[in-house]
Chain A
Amino acid sequence: MKYAALPIKLFSLISGRLRVKKIEITNLSFFMKLFLLSIVVGSIGYILISDRENIFTVRGETENITIVFSNDNLNQWDLSDATLLLDITAPDDLVTLPIDSFFMPNVDTTARVVIRNQESKPSQLIITLESDGKSVGEIETADKVIQLPRYAEITIDINQSRVLPLDGYIRVGEDVGLGVDSLLLSGEVSIVEKQFFREERYVATEHKLDTGDRVELHNSVDIDSLAKAKGFIRITSSNPLAFTIHGEAKAVKVHRLGSNSYHITPSIWPRITNDPIIAAFSSLLAIIFLLLEFADLIGKLLFSPRTADEKDDESSSIAKKP
């Protein structure tokens, strides 16, 4: 409410000062007050809208997830007991990987991870790897290293829980279309924002995702530039893929069926309630207004010149005296 009264106060201050032009010292005081007010209001505005470091977290359940790998060492996947297909023209030539087989991707390799539920059989995890380079990466087993070609498909029967760590450019879900059979099922986006001066953080925005959404972290709202993120997929039998992704970004882009894609960005309103600097400045502004109002009142009482009526009253009272 105190902010709503700001323009009224400013107007009354200015119009009041314009009426009283007689005393030079009052004009000086008016500009001093205006200057002080401008500094405080400007500071609040700057703190309110200035760029902050935001950590975006996307978590939920999905049937598919896509990652373009970075060169981080986090990207090592345990592929024990997995089946490997290396040549699409020979789909029956499969290689079964032994226990302690680890996949190490090359930079910019794309991995599409899809879960396939089968009736009366364990669910299957299907990982498709492809690269514009010569190889998608390599698989290290206890006794050899398998150099992979530009395309490879890995199938894992989910008999036990697995965790696949991720570091790179991540997309969750697929946009609904003809032949699409795996989607994002549910999820939420939360934005954790850094306070203006302190290292502490607060939850700035929370946003629910719908089934069928496609979600990406972006570096900018204006241009299509994916932000790097870290996260993991937790795979358990007969369940969809549980994922958590964290990344420093500017927005989360959501592609939703039946509407244009939109961005989720941090709102400035949680800053007012959560950032102590803004709360302090707001209190300061309120105190300044109070003091200005008080000073204005005192000034009127002590220094305002008497009107003609007041003078007449005074002279008539003197004349009446015996």
Chain B
Amino acid sequence: MKRIIYALQWLVISFSIHAADDLKLTLVEPQFKEKYSSNVPVSGRVISGVMMRSIKSTNQFFIDLPTLETETICFRVQSKDGTYFSSNEYKITDKGFAGKISPEYPTQYQDILEGFNASELALLAFVGSCSEKKLNNVLVSSRSNETSPGFVVILVSSGRSDVFLSALAANGKRKSLKCKRLIKGKRTAYDTECSVKVKDLVLGTNELSIIRRKGGRMLPSVKFNVIVSS
């Protein structure tokens, strides 16, 4: 009897895994847009990445997808040293799906992407078109299906300013956290890492803002929403 139960469990689990694998975000345009060279144009956005750290860094990316009304999301990948950049729009085929989903990513630089360590590659997925100037609803991405629980990391291109992350805590009070300046290596695409505890985020929309101070002056704050679905 136990064996039958185990066999059924195995069937259910393997079916669900394969079902998740089959359900992928597909590219809107057939041509995959990516660049790798010493002088790749860097995105002018302050937010370069919103991601969960992965236990193992692979080149199979995952996006924590909530149930969305819109059909399109933009997924950007950029390396800290500014040598790699990709920006592509994806079509959500099953609007009812919520959970981790792997976008179609036909890169020709697999080895190079795997060579970037945890802090050297920023993933940014947001709802809407890649051409949108303002970043509104950001989704949490990861470099593998196995994420290390605890923190959501926000990678910021601050122009070497002092960065603080302002988040609404579970008790309703706004909390400011000092972000950490990245020191090692070239910091062309981003230079700061903000970590926010997962337990400080709520399921659904979280209003966050990036506060910057540089040269004795406050810079305009950058507000955005992080959507957590699982």
CB contact between B216 and one of A88, A155, A255 (< 8 Å): that residue: A155
Q: What 1/0 mask marks residues of chain B from 66 to 105 whose CB sits below 8 Å from any chain A CB?
A: 0000000000000000100000000000000000000000
How distant is the Cα of A128 from the Cα of B212 in the complex, in angstroms? Answer: 13
Once the chains bind, are B216 and A177 in contact (CB under 8 Å)?
no
A238 at the interface (CB under 8 A from B): no
Query: CB-nearest residue of chain A relative to B215?
Result: A116
How distant is the Cα of A160 from the Cα of B82 in the complex, in angstroms? Answer: 41
Q: What 1/0 mask marks residues of chain A from 172 to 205 whose CB sits below 8 Å from any chain B CB?
A: 0011011111100000000000000000000000
B residues near A181, Cβ cutoff 8 Å: 159-160, 215
- Decide yes or no: A177 and B162 within 8 Å by CB, A116-B215, A126-B215, A150-B178 being known contacts: no
**Most B Cβ at <10 Å: residue of A126, A150, A179:** A179
A-B contact pairs, 10 of them (CB 8 A): A88-B162, A88-B211, A89-B176, A130-B162, A150-B178, A175-B186, A178-B159, A178-B188, A224-B184, A258-B38
- Decide yes or no: A178 and B176 within 8 Å by CB, A88-B213, A126-B215 being known contacts: no
A69 at the interface (CB under 8 A from B): no
- Decide yes or no: A124 and B216 within 8 Å by CB, A88-B164, A179-B159 being known contacts: yes
A158 at the interface (CB under 8 A from B): no
Which positions 158-206 of chain B face chain A at CB distance < 8 Å?
A: 158-162, 164, 176, 178, 183-189, 191
B residues near A177, Cβ cutoff 8 Å: 42, 82, 157, 159-160, 186-189, 191
Query: CB-nearest residue of chain B relative to A177?
Result: B188
Once the chains bind, are A91 and B159 in contact (CB under 8 Å)?
no
Kindly provide the distance from the CB of B38 to the nearest chain A CB, expressed in whole angstroms.
7
A151 at the interface (CB under 8 A from B): yes
How distant is the Cα of A128 from the Cα of B162 in the complex, in angstroms? Answer: 8
Once the chains bind, are B161 and A179 in contact (CB under 8 Å)?
yes
**Most B Cβ at <10 Å: residue of A128, A178, A180, A255:** A178
Give the interface SS of chain A, mostly helix, strand, loop or mixed. Answer: loop
Query: CB-nearest residue of chain B relative to A176?
Result: B188
B residues near A130, Cβ cutoff 8 Å: 162, 178
B30 at the interface (CB under 8 A from A): no
Kindly provide the distance from the CB of A167 to the nearest chain B CB, expressed in whole angstroms.
19
Once the chains bind, are A153 and B178 in contact (CB under 8 Å)?
no
B residues near A182, Cβ cutoff 8 Å: 160
B220 at the interface (CB under 8 A from A): no
Kindly provide the distance from the CB of B220 to the nearest chain A CB, expressed in whole angstroms.
13
B residues near A224, Cβ cutoff 8 Å: 184
A residues near B189, Cβ cutoff 8 Å: 177
Which positions 104-152 of chain B face chain A at CB distance < 8 Å?
A: none
Query: CB-nearest residue of chain A relative to B38?
Result: A258
Query: CB-nearest residue of chain B relative to A149?
Result: B178
Q: What 1/0 mask marks residues of chain B from 17 to 50 whose CB sits below 8 Å from any chain A CB?
A: 0000000000000000000001100101000000
Kindly provide the distance from the CB of A176 to the nearest chain B CB, expressed in whole angstroms.
8
Kindly provide the distance from the CB of B117 to the nearest chain A CB, expressed in whole angstroms.
12
Give the interface SS of chain B, mostly helix, strand, loop or mixed. Answer: loop
A114 at the interface (CB under 8 A from B): yes
A residues near B188, Cβ cutoff 8 Å: 175, 177-178
- List of 5 A-B pairs having minimum Cβ-Cβ separation, nearest first: A179-B159, A177-B188, A116-B215, A126-B216, A155-B216
B residues near A88, Cβ cutoff 8 Å: 162, 164, 176, 211, 213
Q: A155-B216, A177-B159, A179-B159 are in contact. List 12 more A-B contacts (CB 8 A).
A: A88-B164, A88-B213, A126-B216, A151-B162, A175-B188, A177-B188, A179-B157, A180-B159, A180-B160, A181-B159, A255-B186, A258-B38
CB contact between A91 and one of B44, B158, B215, B218 (< 8 Å): that residue: B218
Query: CB-nearest residue of chain A relative to B39?
Result: A258
CB contact between B183 and one of A114, A155, A171 (< 8 Å): that residue: A171
How distant is the Cα of A228 from the Cα of B24 in the complex, in angstroms? Answer: 51
Which positions 53-101 of chain A face chain B at CB distance < 8 Å?
A: 88-89, 91
How distant is the Cα of A174 from the Cα of B218 in the complex, in angstroms? Answer: 20
A residues near B178, Cβ cutoff 8 Å: 130, 150-151
A residues near B159, Cβ cutoff 8 Å: 177-181
Query: CB-nearest residue of chain A relative to B211?
Result: A88
How distant is the Cα of A151 from the Cα of B189 in the complex, in angstroms? Answer: 25
A residues near B216, Cβ cutoff 8 Å: 116, 124, 126, 153, 155
Query: CB-nearest residue of chain B relative to A126?
Result: B216
A residues near B191, Cβ cutoff 8 Å: 177
A residues near B213, Cβ cutoff 8 Å: 88, 91, 153
B residues near A89, Cβ cutoff 8 Å: 176, 211
B residues near A91, Cβ cutoff 8 Å: 213, 218
How distant is the Cα of A126 from the Cα of B44 in the complex, in angstroms? Answer: 26
